[in-house]
Amino acid sequence: MSLRLPAGVVFGEEYRNLVSHCKENTFALAAVNVVGTDSINAVMEAAAVNKSDVIIQLSNGGASFFAGQGMPDKADAMVFGAVSAAQHVHLLAKHYGICVVLHTDHANRKLIPWIDALLDQGEEYKKKNGRPLFSSHMVDLSEESLEDNLNESERILRRSVALDMSVEIELGITGGEEDGVGADLDSIDNSRLYTQPEDVLAAYDQLNSIGHFSVAASFGNVHGVYKPGNVQLRPEILRHSQDLVSKTHSLSNNNPLDLVFHGGSGSPEASIKEAIEYGVFKMNIDTDTQFAFAQGVGKFVEENGAAFKHQIHPDTDEPLKKYYDPRKWLRAGEQSLVQRLTQAFTELGSKGKSVAS
């Protein structure tokens, strides 16, 4: 029986069912970082056009930008920018006719107060609306000891479960950097770019009985795009982790873990498909989507350069308002982002598989 869910933001059992549906049918959802209504709307448009459900997520920097760079209190900007973005998605997603997972991305040790503040906001939101503000939050303590990572993840998971939410954790280090969170490829032990299956088992043992969680397991993936040969992906690491958990707990499910592929931008399609076979249901592609938006805007500016220097064309006396109108060049960025996401939905196998009703 095929899964059908109401269009809009999914959470709790709906979210868990969607994750299981992705894994059972061997496809994954694109997770796209957003910074404003332009990028949010483009993501929802792309999902609607391609009949694909999608994950919309905010980093601390994206949330802060959404609130406005001029907001005096930067900590408040991270919190209320995320809240504002989430409310925007809640209001419009159902009208696009798609299912959206709302998520926050990369909270290392210094950003845990941001997650706690968002959970505070989520408690208030649920009291008023009967549903959580976000579907899930990420706790990225991969640079800490395994014990500290899992203990703090457990604390956040217990708070999240009370709101019918999930948590994403990271084991192993994803190289590169995103909004100040990450690691320089040249400064870390190469072995830490590959998650150890024993660590994944420890996470399962400590967290599984508490509530739903997903694991961003590292298999050589990095944030950003690097020249060929600089990054060696080993998706089989994910298979080893799944096998160890399944064997240790005598599970009939071959892929008991819900896995996340960070740093998916620029990855070979074969590696993407292999990772999906091993239980990946979510892939982050922030770098490629940023570049796509920039390409669209850049091309428009190149083709209409006079409009960005003059209000009236110096040679033809033509008024140029219809070109420098922000709705024109921002729309060009949106359209380019839609094209790039169409490629992503195709590679991930989610195109045409929306479960929204």
Strands (E), the chain: 8-9, 29-33, 54-58, 99-104, 136-139, 166-171, 176-178, 181-183, 213-217, 259-261, 280-284
CA distances from 163 to 167, 203, 234 (A): 11, 21, 35
pLDDT value at residue 195: 84
Give mean pLDDT, residues 249-257: 95
Judged against a pLDDT cut of 60, whether residue 183 lies above it is answered with no
Which residue among the candidates 105, 164, 258, 288 is catalytic per the annotation? 105
Residues 68-109: tens digit of each pLDDT: 999 999 999 999 999 999 999 999 999 999 999 999 998 999
Neighbours of 56 (CB within 10 A): 25
Higher per-residue confidence, 266 vs 185: 266
Q: What is the mean pLDDT of residues 217-245?
A: 74
Cα–Cα dist 348/44, whole Å: 17
pLDDT in tens, 1-32: 489 999 999 999 999 999 999 999 999 999 99
What letter represents residue 351's amino acid? K
52-61, 259-268, 339-348 — which is least confidently predicted? 259-268
Q: How many angstroms separate the Cα of 30 from the Cα of each of 14, 82, 167, 226, 310?
A: 18, 19, 17, 20, 40
With H, G, I as helix, E, B as strand and everything else as coil, classify residue 109.
helix
**Type and span of the H or E element at 286:** helix 286-303
Tell whether the model's pLDDT for residue 217 goes beyond 50: yes
Of 167, 169, 58, whose CA–CA distance to 104 is shortest? 58
Question: Would you say 344 and 276 are in contact if contact means Cβ atoms under 8 Å apart?
Answer: no
- The answer to whether 353 and 25 are in contact (CB under 8 A) is yes
Mean pLDDT of 139-162: 96
> Which two three-digit tokens encode residue 197?
């299956």
Q: How many residues does the chain have?
A: 357
Domains by residue range for the chain, with CATH = 8-295+340-348 (3.20.20.70)
Residue 192 CA: distances (Å) to CA of 59, 147, 187, 272 = 23, 16, 11, 21
105 is catalytic: yes
